[in-house]
Amino acid sequence: MQSAEARRQLVERLEREAEQAPARYRLKLALLAVLGYAVLGLALLSTLGLLVFLLGYLLIARPSLGPFQIIALMMLALSGTVVARALWVRFVMPEGHHLQPDQAPELRAEVERIRKAVGAAPLHGIVINAELNAAAAYVPQGLGLWRQRHYLILGLPLLHALDRRELAAVVAHEFGHFHGGHGHFTGWIYRLRSSWHRLLEGMSGGLAGGQLLWFFFRWYAPYFEAYSQVLARRQEYAADAVSAQAVGADAAVSALVRIELASDWLEGEFWPQINESTRAQAYPPIAVHEQLAQGLSRERQREIRIPARLLARQPDPDDTHPTLAKRAEALQVELPRTTGTAGVAAADMLGELDATLQRRFSLEWRTGADAEWKAGHQQAQRERHRLAELQAHRTHTPAEAVELACLSEDHQPGIDALPLYREALARAPSNANGHYRLGALLLKRGNESEGVQHLGRAMELDAALVEPALRALDSHARGQPEESAFDAAVETLRARYSLRGAGDGHGQALQPHALEAMQLRELARALRGHQKVRTAWVAQRPLAGTEVMPHFLVLLDWAGSVASERAALPHIASQLRLPGSCTVLTASSDAAQARAVRMSAGEPAYRRP
């Protein structure tokens, strides 16, 4: 794939083709799937197959061989060995806790009941991990991409977020992927989407002589994924239909809503609160997953309004999962505006294993977060030092006045930052972050009209603040009566800004980033926490029109697979603290833009030590 835009155009074209000529689309997809097998077979036949043929001929005919013929045979044997080693991929089992036969018998019995109701094949195992997610995992056996081991993955946070009936709907959905309910062809394609990526990830660390195969699959795997995108979306709808038939459409939609709300709470409240504690303590907290379980339990039992942002979310061309509204529409269930008290938590079916897994996942999280946490604590110390410097001076530039207000709010809760923000914005009326921080503070103080004005101004100045500003507005709207004046103001802002994005900057000349040394150190600190990032280049898009905040493009040299990079890029982007909005990309996600960034950036902004 040449670029993200090219991928979107391809998917849109294939959607039209699948509607107008479904047989032709399926034929093309089948031929593309067969191409992967053909390349694997050709690679083996052209090396090991030819070698076996020649050795058989030599054993039968026994001709005399000169040194050149012997060298040629040795080179062929070496090439065959390299190809075989490149393809000899060990597919690891899904990460997490694999349930043993004597563990969580109630959960195992419930899963088995649903499997029989759906008519799916037996599982090879149930895995509990630390994610708010569920998945149908396929593990190919050796080169047998047509032979799979099936695992059901359930996240411990998911079990705390859902009641038993909602979990049954989720499990039935995942069995819908295992089940032939898609049809034999679509089930085969569904498995191949993950299998090719798993093969690519396994080959990425192979011998240098296998690079030709690795380069082919580095192109082929994302291309095949884009080509099968249309079918993948239909598979989600089909799996939802299986869930509705087995458990009920209302339970299926309720589970979807609960997961959206829990994910929104995690991203908007729980993890930000955890991360804020880096300012006060030098080490990560000990019982994060215990806190997470308690918080999800409270959220599950609360009767709250569903944020309009979640109900009105637009479909993403790159996402195989349709939007919440689309999935509810397909199930012919009207989305509720509020959620009521749920039943018994699904996590109760784990019994004593629940507390054991909470302790295990807390320890694993603490170990993994230690380096980044310490760096965050050090950054907080630097911010406090910077705050002391600013307070020691009588006069400040407009930018320093905004910085002083932000740092005072963050590190001196005893000081009222409101007058500091007002004074700073009087001098720096185009400072987007200042408007955002003041607007959020005003909402907390109950001054809704002025808070909405400042958040709207922040979104106007910086597209990167659209999502956090809308989140702050939605969070405040939960406590407001429906159809209030505040609701109307929020809907106006959403209609104006929700479709606005930073864009990818195609067609515009790029500039060197001009980041300061401290900002580069902060960038390096964020990237050091990701082992697969080897090098990073940063370029800046020139300001256009009324823009006052820059937009940065961060190109990563990614050492892992395409599948792993796609999962990691949004997380990395959320961790970067640049003075403006940013887009994070790799050469495989957007080759044309990657070349432009590298040419404009010059020397890398970060190299892994």
User: Can you give the pLDDT at residue 188?
Assistant: 67
The confidence score (pLDDT) of residue 528 equals 86
Query: What is the spatial distance between Cα 575 and Cα 278, in angstroms, rounded to a whole number?
Result: 14
- Range scoring the smallest mean pLDDT among 171-180, 439-448, 572-581: 572-581
What integer is the mean pLDDT of 97-124?
93
**pLDDT for 409-418, tens place per residue?**
989 988 899 9
Which of 362, 375, 433, 423 minimizes the C-alpha distance to 395? 423
What amino acid is encoded at 515 in this protein? L
HEC-encoded secondary structure of 242-283: HHHHHCCHHHHHHHHHHHHHHHHHHHHHHHHHHHHHHHCCCC
Mean pLDDT lowest among 182-186, 252-256, 327-331: 182-186
Structure confidence by residue, pLDDT tens digits, 117-155: 998 889 999 999 999 999 888 776 655 455 678 899 999
538 Cβ neighbours under 8 A, 6+ residues apart: 513, 515, 523, 552, 553, 554, 555, 597, 601, 605
Q: Residue 171: which residues within 8 A CB-CB, separation 6 or more?
A: 110, 111, 114, 134, 152, 154
Which pLDDT value is given to residue 479? 58
pLDDT at 538: 92
**Is a pLDDT exceeding 70 seen at residue 490?**
yes
How confident is the prediction for the chain on average, in pLDDT?
80
pLDDT digits (tens, 9 = 90+) for 239-274: 999 999 999 999 999 999 999 889 888 887 898 889
Residue 209 confidence (pLDDT): 46
Instruction: Give CA–CA dist 31/25, Å, rounded.
Output: 10
d(CA 184, CA 105): 32
Q: Which of 46-50, 182-186, 409-413, 417-421 has the highest mean pLDDT?
A: 417-421
Per-residue burial over 172-198, b if 16 or more Cβ lie within 10 Å, else e, is bbbbbbbbebbeeebbbbbbbbbbbbb
Q: Dihedral sign for Cα 61, 62, 65, 70, please.
A: positive
- Identify the CA nearest to 598 among candidates 549, 547, 536, 551: 536
- Number of residues that this document lists for the chain: 609
Highest mean pLDDT, choosing among 203-207, 231-235, 356-360: 356-360
Q: How many CB atoms neighbour CB 421 within 10 A?
A: 26
SS (H, E, C) 284-350: CCCCHHHHHHHHHHHHHHCCEECCHHHHCCCCCCCCCCCCHHHHHHHCCCCCCCEECCCCCEHHHHH
Q: Is the Cβ–Cβ distance between 338 and 306 less than 8 Å?
A: yes
More confident residue, 369 or 509: 369
Q: What is the pLDDT of residues 530-581, one digit of tens each?
A: 888 888 999 987 754 334 457 788 999 887 655 567 667 777 877 787 877 7
- Whether the pTM exceeds 0.85: the reply is no
Highest mean pLDDT among 79-93, 260-274, 306-320, 444-458: 444-458
What pLDDT is stored for residue 501 in this prediction?
44
What does the block give as tokens for 374? 């310490």
Distances (CA, A) of 3 to 10, 356, 442, 510: 11, 45, 41, 17
Do the Cβ atoms of 434 and 425 come closer than 8 Å? yes
Match 């007002």 to its residue by tokens: 422
Closest by Cα among 549, 541, 544, 548 to 593: 541
pLDDT at 465: 80
Taking residue 595's Cβ as centre, other Cβ atoms within 10 Å add up to 12
Q: Which residues pair with 537 in a beta bridge?
A: 555
Q: Angle at the Cα of 470 (from 464 to 471), degrees rounded to 5?
A: 100
What is the 8-class DSSP label of residue 59? H
Closest CA to 390 of 413, 414, 418, 424: 424
Burial string for 505-516 (b: 16+ CB within 10 Å, else e) reads beeeebeebebe
Q: 495 pLDDT exceeds 60? A: yes
Q: Which residue has the tokens 């101004």?
A: 457
* pLDDT, position 340: 65
The pLDDT of residue 184 is above 60? no
Question: Which of 84-98, 269-283, 433-447, 520-534 has the largest mean confidence?
Answer: 433-447
Domains within the chain, CATH numbers bracketed: 4-87 (no CATH), 393-497 (1.25.40.10), 511-607 (3.30.70)
Binned at pLDDT 50, 70 and 90, residue 370 comes out as: confident
The backbone torsions φ and ψ at residue 147, rounded to the nearest 5 degrees and listed phi first, read -110, 130
What's the rounded Cα separation, in Å, for the pair 182 and 473? 40
Q: Which of 55-69, 383-397, 530-544 has the lowest mean pLDDT?
A: 55-69
Q: In this model, does residue 83 exceed pLDDT 70? A: no
Instruction: Kindly state the helix (H) or strand (E) to which residue 38 belongs, with its residue range.
Output: helix 22-44
Q: Quick one: average pLDDT of 292-301?
A: 91
Taking every pair of C-alpha atoms in the chain, what is the biggest distance, in angstroms?
97
Judged against a pLDDT cut of 70, whether residue 330 lies above it is answered with yes
Per DSSP, the residues of 521-583 read: HHHHHHHHT-TTEEEEEEEEEPP-TT--S-EEEEEEEE-S-HHHHHHHHHHHHHH---SSEEE
Give the bridge partners for 512, in sequence order. Answer: 539
- Condensed to tens digits (0 to 9), the pLDDT of residues 215-236 reads 777 777 777 877 787 787 888 8
- Find the range with the poorest average confidence among 45-49, 161-165, 599-603: 45-49
Q: Which contacts of 384-387 are long-range, i.e. CB under 8 A and separated by 24 or more positions?
A: 384/411, 387/411, 387/412
